[in-house]
Copies of this chain bind each other. A is one copy, B any other.
């Protein structure tokens, strides 16, 4: 079932450069399906996304869609990957590598929040409750790490610039080697405690955005914009940026 998705992602590009008419038609229709699904996701949300509605939108029989996506879950998976890519790109676009680490941290967090507010349903699909019995395929985890990696770059640069407080070395590590690599890589000022703190701050930003988006701050916080930037500043303090 991941076959079809894979062929969508790399598809005719890898196979051979001279694509046949059929392959081009397939790629085009796949893109159209995704576009329609993306529109439906943005308007009615993931739970109400209907294969039949997509088919109607494109003037196709519903059964025809199954030539392109083996199931509704697979279509959702493609949308999830697109979403992670989009929010990751937003984070990267907001990052100015020459700026101060703290400025960069603020910029990335603001960009992620802005993307979430602009695409609430997509954000919910990425970071909200996983859908029914849906288990995120391995394909998604690579794309998912893009925002974290952007923040990790800031952390690594800050460590190299020497703005981080000295690390408190300890024996057992709480962070996976792979994750440590994404979170700044090798550096004496970046030990496990600092990296774990980076994960905390990142998940805290996610908590702030989710609470705001899912309505848990309604009637609690007066100025959501000011509140967010202030708390992101607090997290920067905690991180040592």
Closest CB-CB distance, A204 to chain B, in whole Å? 4
Contact of A132 among B44, B219, B221 (CB under 8 A): B44
Closest CB-CB distance, A121 to chain B, in whole Å? 8
> How many residues of A are counted as interface, with CB atoms below 8 angstroms from the partner's CB atoms?
54
Cβ contacts A213-241/B at 8 Å (1 or 0 each)? 01111111111001100110011011000
- The chain B residue sitting closest to A121, CB to CB, is B129
Q: Kindly state the separation between the CA atoms of A44 and B118 in the bound complex, as whole angstroms.
A: 31
Cβ contacts A5-20/B at 8 Å (1 or 0 each)? 0000000000000000
Q: Give 18 CB contacts A-B under 8 Å.
A: A124-B129, A127-B216, A129-B214, A136-B215, A172-B223, A174-B221, A174-B222, A174-B230, A175-B220, A176-B219, A176-B220, A179-B220, A179-B221, A196-B221, A196-B227, A200-B235, A207-B208, A210-B210
